[in-house]
Amino acid sequence: MVKADKIAVEGVVKEALPNATFKVELTQEGYQGHLVNAYLSGKMRMNYIKVLEGDRVTVEISIYDLNRGIITFRHKPGEDHKTIPEEINLDKTEVLPGTKDLL
């Protein structure tokens, strides 16, 4: 959950800098093309989550300083988290055998 004075946006890591700092280019609408200096969050460091150039990440940016941010999540390659897979049809509801009485 993002705090009230922070904005969570998606971006792509363009360059790895020393001390776990990265240049991230934002890709979300309204922020496209903006470069941010971002560092890894404490939980990502603690869990040894590696971030490389080209990775898609979520960055929290303070509304007071739009040039610095914190990388809070690294997205899996090839995964688009905003779409629902086609094999899941939300219009159909299946009733399991023996549970019809519960409805």
Q: pLDDT 10s digit of each residue in the chain, 103 long? A: 667 789 999 999 999 999 989 999 999 888 899 999 999 999 999 999 999 999 999 999 999 999 999 999 999 887 665 543 444 444 555 555 555 554 4
Question: What is the spatial distance between Cα 83 and Cα 22, in angstroms, rounded to a whole number?
Answer: 28
| pTM, full prediction | 0.72
CATH assignment, 6-74:
2.40.50.140
